Amino acid sequence: MSLSGEAFILRTLSYSEADLIVHSLSKQHGLLHFFVRGAKKSKKRFSGGVLQPPHLIHFETNNLKPDQLESGALVSLKEASLIKDFAEIRTEYKNMETMFSMIKVMLFSETGHIELFNHYGAALQGLSQAQSKKRFFTHFVVRYLYIEGVLPEQNTFTDFISTSMGQHANLKEVSSQQVEKEVGLASHFLKSYSSSREGVKWPS
């Protein structure tokens, strides 16, 4: 059995002189961790930095063992092609800073699923247009925790919960004091959820 579909590249790590390990969030199969043999030397299969974040790719794997996907083991990637590169994100440092913080949050997920895939995709789409990266990221974190089912019940984030990332621009403006309150509360909830993991930097 082999897999194919769409996936966002979250993180790419060098494994050897020629190979890579790539962490991704796929639409159909949740979090997938690819072993990419010969990726650094293959200009035909993985050209143009296709395996770099935050790219959206179409992928195809080599054959898997029956229990390989359930165990979270590395999956051998056969080929990948670029669907969208989100080049507009790379035009500003604050966009990049926010994107890498978003990626770190996504890697907290144990499995991933289509709702997280859509949440992350909508956030990437709207990131470069966001006026306040700090509030945009707070919105992103709150909806992530809500989707994962770990956001405590409270009234502060009613608008964030009911508004998708694609509609972020429609949120009503609030005072700087309210923004800091939102950041503090969201940061507290995220730390509680990810206490055993590396901390996340909030965009300035």
- Range 4-85 classified under CATH 2.40.50.140: yes
Quick check: 55 and 32 in contact, CB under 8 A?
no
Quick check: 60 and 81 in contact, CB under 8 A?
no
Render pLDDT for 19-50 as a digit per residue (tens, 0 to 9). 899 999 999 889 999 999 887 777 677 777 89
Mean pLDDT, range 170-195, rounded to an integer: 91
Task: Specify the pTM.
Answer: 0.92
Task: Please provide residue 166's backbone torsions phi and psi, each rounded to the nearest 5 degrees.
Answer: -70, -20
Of 17 and 85, more confident: 85
> Token digits for 126?
């709207």
Which string of b and e fits 86-99 if b means at least 16 CB within 10 Å?
A: beebeeeebbbbbb
